[in-house]
């Protein structure tokens, strides 16, 4: 049998690649703009020291900065997409590095603007904000001015800026150790022979039908972290201490308050998430007990929580059929939405298939002046590729509609709402597939199992992570030591609290807290849990046919960053200041578990 070979980029038909000509006709045109922007960068100097002269002077400086940023983003987008097509292409790697360098240079030269804006006397800036000259930038400036109480004088701000690179040391140490130096050995699955265990295939091994293979992969993987546990604990403690340094420097009460301040997220949103999940655990416990029984196990371990309950599901869906399926699932959003998406998915937005040197995984990416491109590595025999396509289509349509309805200054939406559109699409897709396969109970069980595990990993698991972050930062704020025992002790307590007697907590599992990269970006993970809660609430409104549900959701997709994220979600029909959406998401999870149990009983 001839082994399947990954094709070179040149072997991929052009109609299966994204079309980047809306950005630049070719690399030469890119170079022309690069040279032009390089010559324009010194233009920042004529605005420095003059932002407070008048409303018109401030407007001119902001306009110059945003216009330059917009064109640099266009350069960067083209360069990073070309670089991701084939990582071995040295010309495009150099182009990408030059784009990053240009962006960094622009950021450096414009760094005077925020401090100068905040240095304008309060009465003066309030007068400016009522002027016609700044009408288009009012909310943009108000967001900057919110930081005034937490901004220091010029020399101190310069000192904090200089310290940023140093403060990244802990994250860089973890990144190098985790991605380069850690070795996990090899695993034999009894079929393919010895395979090197890695971050990339760890979950694949946890999905292996042979429990001994799963168990061996789990303990072997965590042995590598055990061998470096003191070093990683020191790195994690270091990043928490850096968070505390900047929190106190900027006069925030807590690290969590500092992290939530920029998006204007009340602490109650975070607290509601933790409390609601903690008090609504019964559906999770029911699912874990059902999973244990369905797998025929006496006790359930972590390495038993990824393997599909229903295995050997035959699936084959060419890309073109996947697009059609995606559009059918999203039909409740109306033909205006699906017609745009159809043209994009079949006409140049998507780089569809794997080629040698191409970046792995998937993403949606673009800029204000480009289509919302999608990178895929589509596999027709894998249902996850269908879900990935639908997920990224959600991001792309969010970007498309934001860019069409907002000016450049407000087109970008925040991370807090970024996963709502993508998860919304996945929820509609699962509902559609359950109807399509209503006469195939094995496929129905497989889809339900997949959806349940997705919610479990995104809502329940990320909430546990969020509570861990809160507790370790509270330790630092109380000047308590962040030792290895303190970190793993807290994590073991949380595992016990979140899983009770329904999962055997192997001692190695407490080391999981040492391998989560997001812990080096403080108070980020809770947004996954709030995002999926909002998405499920909005999707259920649309699927129930509630009055204005579809219109409200589509309007939300047009808002970009023109409002704070909680206000945007409220306009869509979900109030994340209330615990209700999280409770509703857990209830949705519980209904899926009940459906899975009923379908599984017929197999």
pLDDT tens readout for residues 60-100: 999 999 999 999 999 999 999 999 999 889 999 999 999 99
pLDDT at 493 over 50: yes
Contact (CB, 8 A) for 51 and 117: yes
Mean pLDDT, the chain, whole residue set: 94
Segment 309-337, tens digit of pLDDT? 998 888 899 999 999 999 999 999 999 99
Per-residue pLDDT at 111? 86
- The neighbouring-strand residues paired with 363 are 375
Segment 350-364, tens digit of pLDDT? 999 999 898 888 999
Burial bucket for residue 115 (CB in 10 Å: 0-12, 13-18, 19+): middle
- The neighbouring-strand residues paired with 504 are 301
pLDDT above 90 covers a percentage of the chain that reads: 86
Checking 430-439 for CB contacts under 8 A at 24+ apart, the result is: 431/329, 431/539, 431/543, 432/325, 432/328, 432/329, 433/325, 433/329, 436/325
Per-residue pLDDT at 166? 87
Contact (CB, 8 A) for 386 and 429: yes
| 123 given a catalytic annotation | no
| Segments making up each domain of the chain, as ranges | 9-151
CA nearest to 209, candidates 307, 121, 67? 307
Spacing of C-alpha 9 from chain mean position: 28
Per-residue pLDDT at 3? 54
Contact (CB, 8 A) for 92 and 85: yes
- Which is the catalytic residue, given 73, 85, 116, 392? 392
What class, spelled out in words, does domain 9-151 have in CATH? mainly alpha
Per-residue pLDDT at 10? 93
pTM for the model: 0.92
Within 10 angstroms of residue 119's Cβ, the number of other Cβ atoms is 14
pLDDT at 1 over 50: no
């Amino acid at each position: 049998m001839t082994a399947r070979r990954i094709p070179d980029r040149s072997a991929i038909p052009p109609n299966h690649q994204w079309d980047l000509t809306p950005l630049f006709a070719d690399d030469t045109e890119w170079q022309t703009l690069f040279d032009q922007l390089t010559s324009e960068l010194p233009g920042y100097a004529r605005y420095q020291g003059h932002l407070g002269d008048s409303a018109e002077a401030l407007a001119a400086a902001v306009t110059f900065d945003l216009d330059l940023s917009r064109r640099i983003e266009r350069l960067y987008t083209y360069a990073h997409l070309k670089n991701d097509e084939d990582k071995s292409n040295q010309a495009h790697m150099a182009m990408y590095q030059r784009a990053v360098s240009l962006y960094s240079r622009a950021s450096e030269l414009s760094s005077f603007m925020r401090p100068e804006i905040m240095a304008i006397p309060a009465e003066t800036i309030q007068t400016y904000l009522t002027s016609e000259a700044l009408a288009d930038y009012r909310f943009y400036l108000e967001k900057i001015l919110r930081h005034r109480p937490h901004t220091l004088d010029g020399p101190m701000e310069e000192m904090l800026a200089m310290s940023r690179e140093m403060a990244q040391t802990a994250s860089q140490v973890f990144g190098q150790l985790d991605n380069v130096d850690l070795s996990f050995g090899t695993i034999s699955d009894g079929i393919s022979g010895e395979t090197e265990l890695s971050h990339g295939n760890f979950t694949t091994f946890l999905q292996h039908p042979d429990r001994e293979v799963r168990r061996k992969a789990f303990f072997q993987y965590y042995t590598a972290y055990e061998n470096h546990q003191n070093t990683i604990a020191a790195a994690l403690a270091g990043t928490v201490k850096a968070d505390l340094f900047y929190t106190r420097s900027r006069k925030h009460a807590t690290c969590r308050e500092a992290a939530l301040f920029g998006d204007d997220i009340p602490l109650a949103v975070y607290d509601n998430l933790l409390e609601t999940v903690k008090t609504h655990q019964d559906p999770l416990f029911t699912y874990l007990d059902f999973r244990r029984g369905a797998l025929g196990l006496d006790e359930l371990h972590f390495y038993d929580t990824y393997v599909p309950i229903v295995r050997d599901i035959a699936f084959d869906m060419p890309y073109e059929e996947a697009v059609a399926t995606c559009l059918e699932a999203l039909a409740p959003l109306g033909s205006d939405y699906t017609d745009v998406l159809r043209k994009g998915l079949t006409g140049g937005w998507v780089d569809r298939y794997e080629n040698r040197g191409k970046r792995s995984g998937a993403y949606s990416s673009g800029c204000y002046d480009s289509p919302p491109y999608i990178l895929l590595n589509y596999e027709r025999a894998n249902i996850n590729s269908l879900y990935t396509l639908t997920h990224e289509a959600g991001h792309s349509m969010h970007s498309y509609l934001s860019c069409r309805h907002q000016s450049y200054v407000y087109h970008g939406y925040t991370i807090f709402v970024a996963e709502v559109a993508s998860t919304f699409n996945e929820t509609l897709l699962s509902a559609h597939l359950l109807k399509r396969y209503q006469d195939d109970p094995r496929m129905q069980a497989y889809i339900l199992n997949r959806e349940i595990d997705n919610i479990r990993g995104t809502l329940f698991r990320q909430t546990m992570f969020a509570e861990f972050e809160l507790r370790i930062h509270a330790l630092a704020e109380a000047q308590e030591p962040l030792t290895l025992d303190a970190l793993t002790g807290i994590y073991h307590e949380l595992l016990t609290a979140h899983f009770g007697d329904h999962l055997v907590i192997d001692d190695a599992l407490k080391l999981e807290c040492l391998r989560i990269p997001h812990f080096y970006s403080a108070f980020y993970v809770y947004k996954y849990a709030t995002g999926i809660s909002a998405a499920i609430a909005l999707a259920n409104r649309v699927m129930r046919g509630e009055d204005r549900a579809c219109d409200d959701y589509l309007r939300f997709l047009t808002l970009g960053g023109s409002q704070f994220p909680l206000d945007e979600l409220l306009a869509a029909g979900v109030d994340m200041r209330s615990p209700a959406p999280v409770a509703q998401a857990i209830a949705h999870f519980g209904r899926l578990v009940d459906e899975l149990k009923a379908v599984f009983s017929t197999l």
